[in-house]
Structure 1
Amino acid sequence: MFPSRQREEHLMKQLASLTRRDFLACAMAAMGTAALAGCGSASSSTGTSSTSTSASTISASQDTYTLVKDGQLTIASDLANPPLDYTDTSTNEPAGFEVELMQAIGEKLGLTSVYLSPVKFDTIIPTIKQGGTADVGVSNFTITDERKQEIDFTDPYLDSNQGLVTAKTATKTTQDDLNSADVKVAVQAGTTGESWVEENLPNATLVSLDDPVVALTGVQSGLYDAAVADLPVVQYLVNNSFTDCQVSIEIPTGEQYGIVVSKDNPALTSAINDALAQLDEDGTLKDLKTKWFGSDL
């Protein structure tokens, strides 16, 4: 489905006039998700640190890893991928599966988990690699060999695939139909979804954007024919906000998410892996998955 040239220009101006936060605010307001608050800036915290025996065991090795700020696990994210991470518009605080996971990891480490203000997805890995701003990057990062050349990943905490979204009224919904020069496919810049479109829809026009919400907004308005992003994210969005869109293709990419850590901080990677193992063993990880996704993915 293609808009006229005038309509496309008008929509482009509308999209350009809105900030990334505007898109997310509109989408999340429609969802009405009530999630536990995280923290909105480097000066706010997501909760108190744990003093449990397990936390003391892991935090005993704090002198072997470095932190941007003592006693604090500083996190970089785009907060643009509900239900994994987003800004709760009712509190203006981070919320989602990954936010609560990082709170639980912080408790195991005896640290307070603090989210920085949102940044663009494709700046997070360079930020962690450079150091000095954040300790970890958490934004549904797929573990890939290419990324491992730049940074370290923790053990995986969630399995995922990609999803291709079209309007429910679209006539082009298959991979063959969409692999055409007159088709526009929106993705989030720097993601595995972008890579999939480059490899599997080479004839389509690729449009790289800041986040999946902006991409689906374009599909809903008719500006783009399709969007590709992580399946848990697009399933959540079409069920809660973009209800006139659908996941037309579930793409079995077999991805796993990991937390991004600097190669210069291997002890922190090890400590987080220990925390993840404990959260798996005590059922916390399963409970969080069931809460946010409806099942233990």
Structure 2
Amino acid sequence: MKKKPHLSTVLGCMLAAVLAVTLAACGGSPSPSGSSAQEPDTSTTDDYALVEDGKLTMISNFYFPPFVSMSAENGGDFEGFDVDVYKAVCDKLGLEPNILPSVQFDTIVPTIKQGGKADVSIGAVTITDERLEEVDMTDPYMDSNQAIVVKKGATATDVDTLNVAGTQVAVQSGTTGESWVKENLPNATCVPLDDIIQCLTGLQSGLYNAVVCDLPVAQYEIKIAYSDLEVTTEIPTGEQYGIVVSKDNPGLTEKINQALKDLEDDGTMDQLEQKWFGTTL
């Protein structure tokens, strides 16, 4: 037979139970002064993955000045308008820049889609429906058009005179310039090359009759290195550049969009445009 507990023991147990309920009702642990009991706002958390912790890893084709290139004066360091934009985005996100060696332009979208090598790509990449089927792209940060470039004194200088059999039109492989030539100059031969420097040098030496490329690139290169070439036609394609991000990383796209907005609002984008183009675009 079990021994009955003493009355004082019973009263002690009842008092302990009442105190426990009272403490639970008060929340158990105190909240900081002025804080709310609501759940934290998950939109402010860094809900994205990175190839390397603390770093925003970027790939690009670094033969597309003035957007992305390698400086001969600074030991081959990366430079350009888009390099500066990328580094400013890194600063806004509190991440360290991590730029990988140059890749072919037409491998960029597949690489970002596959994941595991780079988080983003920036380098005058036009936002297109085809690319958006494979990857995410940020809000646009610059507008652009295409351009027809020929040697000064050339007789074939526009769509009508170039769109004939035997005409060789050089483009950078995988670009919107290549797509435009195939659609609008079907009678000419489209010659895809690895980078825009090869295109312009080939045009200069007489290998090709024309080059189709992004207008800001054409204007920049003619000014600094190819004075015997000229833009004869500005093609109003109405393109917009964006930063390439994996579809599996929507949180990163969101954070970069906010960073781009902040860079626009605080005047950084205007400063970088002045630095690289001599004007705001």
Same fold (TM over 0.5): yes
- Counterpart position of 1:71: 54
Taking structure 2 as the reference length, the TM-score comes to 0.83
Cα distance in 1 for partners of 2:119, 2:275 equals: 27
Report the aligned-residue RMSD. 1.1
Cα distance in 1 for partners of 2:262, 2:198 equals: 36
- Among 157, 167, 172, which residue is 2:141 paired with? 157
Q: SS of 1:75's equivalent?
A: strand
- Among 66, 85, 105, which residue is 1:83 paired with? 66
Q: How far off its partner does 1:196 sit?
A: 0.5
Cα distance in 1 for partners of 2:144, 2:158 equals: 21
What is the letter of the counterpart of residue 49 of structure 2? T
Contact 1:159/1:256 (CA < 8 Å) preserved in 2?
yes
- Counterpart position of 2:167: 183
- Among 246, 252, 259, which residue is 2:230 paired with? 246
Q: How far off its partner does 1:141 sit?
A: 0.6
Contact 1:121/1:139 (CA < 8 Å) preserved in 2?
no
**Identity %, equivalent residues:** 56
Alignment: residue pair count: 238
- Among 227, 239, 255, which residue is 1:255 paired with? 239
Q: SS of 1:252's equivalent?
A: strand
- Counterpart position of 1:46: none
Q: Which moved more, 1:267-276 or 1:165-174?
A: 165-174
Q: SS of 1:198's equivalent?
A: helix
- Counterpart position of 1:144: 128
- Counterpart position of 1:216: 200
1:130-158 deviation digits (Å, cap 9, x = unpaired): 00000001121100111100000000000
1:224-277 deviation digits (Å, cap 9, x = unpaired): 000011111011011110111001111110000000000000000000001001
What is the letter of the counterpart of residue 235 of structure 1? Q
- Among 94, 99, 104, which residue is 1:110 paired with? 94
TM superposition outliers: structure 1 runs of 4+ over 3 Å:
none
What is the letter of the counterpart of residue 70 of structure 1? D
Cα distance in 2 for partners of 1:207, 1:80 equals: 17
Q: SS of 2:171's equivalent?
A: strand
Q: SS of 2:226's equivalent?
A: coil
Q: Which runs of 5+ in 2 are unaligned?
A: 1-42
- Counterpart position of 2:20: none
Cα distance in 2 for partners of 1:294, 1:88 equals: 19
What is the letter of the counterpart of residue 205 of structure 1? T
- Counterpart position of 1:231: 215
Q: SS of 1:113's equivalent?
A: strand
- Among 86, 97, 100, which residue is 2:84 paired with? 100
Contact 1:189/1:210 (CA < 8 Å) preserved in 2?
yes
Q: Which moved more, 1:135-144 or 1:264-273?
A: 135-144
